[in-house]
Amino acid sequence: MRSKPFEIGGHVIQPGEQKTIDIPLAAMATHNTIDMTVHVIHGKQEGPRLFISAAIHGDELNGVDIIRRMLKQKQLKRIKGTIIAIPVVNVHGFITHSRYLPDGRDLNRSFPGSSKGSLAGRMANTFLKEIVQKCTHGIDLHTAARHRDNLPQIRADLSSEVVKAMALKFELPVIIDSKIRDGSLRQAAGDAGIPIILYEAGEALRFNEVAIRAGLRGIIGVMRELGMLPSLKKKEVSKPSIVSTNTSWVRAPYSGILRALVPLGGKAEKGSILGVIADPLGENEYQVVAPEDGIVIGRTNLPLVYEGDALFHLAYYHQKVDAVLDQVESFQEKLEPDYSMNAPLDPEGFPIQ
């Protein structure tokens, strides 16, 4: 069935049309106006309306490049439905390299917000009304905070069959059945009946090529699952992702200088040493020990730690961890760029996987 015109931010997009629009946000202290840029691809045929957002935390950059690369995919000209891409939600934080807004608030803890509230509340309310509530599905792109790194992973409330199907089609080795936090975009979208998944990968203020490739591949997979793009006729059969229902941070037992011994994506066996904390002279050393068998899905990159700091984020599984570890290794081998001299390059100058 042919699509109807789609209205957003006071603009009308006709079937088969693409348009970049600016949605006004609260003005800066200098009285300069500031806008949130949105790119809309409105297919000729009816289908889901999928929003893809990045940089809700202004220093999380991988999602910005994922969206940029996604919008260059030629196959999007044939989509059924509508894509609403927002590469930079937190414009203020993006400009200042900050996770937060100028009022010190976390935008992803400010939903649903209010048109008469704080800066964070007003931005959250604008994003919810102008974007989220006009969509049927959503993908929110994130990275770890500063000085931390995340293995590519999906976090979602898997009690919804639609959400679970979207999460599995991202085809990542790590999927976490994650509780929804109060004030988050996930909570606001869920309350509005909009299935949403959250993609976490990499570190703030850094590009990570594997994380970007995995994100792009995952989004295309979700579009195929939703019927926005045709399914592949021939596809490599991959093992289904194994879901983790429990994660926890292993924290520093003492202050000092950390030597991390287990890499991101590595196996943590119960009682094994994840790292060693020492004073600058090495006179006193303390071991950081894994409490259970698991996979390291996040870790700090800072060697200077204080007692109680979160050091290693572990995901736990009901079955043997080795099965998950095999998937992690296969995933990394598949998406790791080949930077050898003879490696063929894609149009952007990156090695072809």
Kindly report whether the global pTM for this prediction surpasses the value 0.75: yes
Which residue is listed with tokens 């490696």?
343
Asked if residue 312 and residue 215 are part of one domain, the reply reads no
Which range has the worst mean pLDDT, 15-19, 26-30, 283-287, 343-347?
343-347
Confidence of residue 87 (pLDDT cuts 50, 70, 90): very high
Asked if residue 169 and residue 291 are part of one domain, the reply reads no
Sequence-distant contacts of 31-36: CB under 8 A, at least 24 apart: 34/91, 34/92, 35/91, 36/86, 36/88, 36/89, 36/91, 36/126, 36/127
The predicted model gives 31-42 an average pLDDT of: 93
Give the total number of structural domains in the chain.
Answer: 2
Range of the domain at 92: 6-225
In a domain, 344, yes or no: no
C-alpha span between 51 and 131 (Å, rounded):
7
Answer whether residue 343 shows pLDDT above 70.
Answer: no
In a domain, 55, yes or no: yes
Confidence of residue 140 (pLDDT cuts 50, 70, 90): very high
pLDDT at 17: 97
In a domain, 24, yes or no: yes
The last residue of one of the domains, among 225, 258, 274, is 225
In a domain, 205, yes or no: yes
pLDDT tens digits for range 251-290: 999 999 999 999 999 999 999 999 999 999 988 999 999 9
199 beta partners: 141, 154
- Contact between residue 224 and residue 169 where contact means Cβ atoms under 8 Å apart: yes
Domain containing residue 259: CATH number: 2.40.50.100
Asked if residue 162 and residue 126 are part of one domain, the reply reads yes
Tokens representing residue 326 in the block: 């095999």
- Contact between residue 255 and residue 305 where contact means Cβ atoms under 8 Å apart: yes
Domain containing residue 134: CATH number: 3.40.630.10
In a domain, 64, yes or no: yes
Asked if residue 251 and residue 191 are part of one domain, the reply reads no
Asked if residue 278 and residue 167 are part of one domain, the reply reads no
Asked if residue 215 and residue 115 are part of one domain, the reply reads yes
Answer whether residue 223 shows pLDDT above 90.
Answer: yes
Asked if residue 144 and residue 32 are part of one domain, the reply reads yes
Q: What is the 3-state secondary structure (H, E, C) of the chain?
A: CECCCEEECCEEECCCCEEEEEEEECCCCCCCCEEEEEEEEECCEEEEEEEEEECCCCCCCHHHHHHHHHHCCHHHHHCEEEEEEECCCCHHHHHHCCCCCCCCCCHHHCCCCCCCCCHHHHHHHHHHHHCHHHCCEEEEEECCCCCEEEEEEEEECCCCHHHHHHHHHCCCCEEEECCCCCCCHHHHHHHCCCCEEEEEEECCCCCCHHHHHHHHHHHHHHHHHCCCCCCCCCCCCCCCCEEECEEEEEECCCCEEEEECCCCCCEECCCCEEEEEECCCCCCEEEEECCCCEEEEEEECCCEECCCCEEEEEEECCCCHHHHHHHHHHHHHHHCCCCCCCCCECCCCCECC
Asked if residue 57 and residue 151 are part of one domain, the reply reads yes
pLDDT tens digits for range 291-305: 999 999 999 999 999
pLDDT at 233: 77
Query: 166: Cβ–Cβ under 8 A, 6 or more apart, which residues?
Result: 137, 139, 156, 195, 197, 222, 225, 226
Asked if residue 51 and residue 133 are part of one domain, the reply reads yes
In a domain, 324, yes or no: no
Asked if residue 40 and residue 98 are part of one domain, the reply reads yes
In a domain, 82, yes or no: yes
C-alpha span between 247 and 297 (Å, rounded):
9
Confidence of residue 342 (pLDDT cuts 50, 70, 90): low
Asked if residue 260 and residue 196 are part of one domain, the reply reads no
Strands 174-177, 246-251: pairing kind = unpaired
Query: 326: Cβ–Cβ under 8 A, 6 or more apart, which residues?
Result: none
pLDDT at 3: 94
Asked if residue 10 and residue 122 are part of one domain, the reply reads yes
Answer whether residue 351 shows pLDDT above 80.
Answer: no
Confidence of residue 340 (pLDDT cuts 50, 70, 90): low
Query: 103: Cβ–Cβ under 8 A, 6 or more apart, which residues?
Result: 118, 119, 120
- The share of the chain scoring above pLDDT 90, in percent, equals 85
In a domain, 306, yes or no: yes
Tokens representing residue 247 in the block: 């994660």
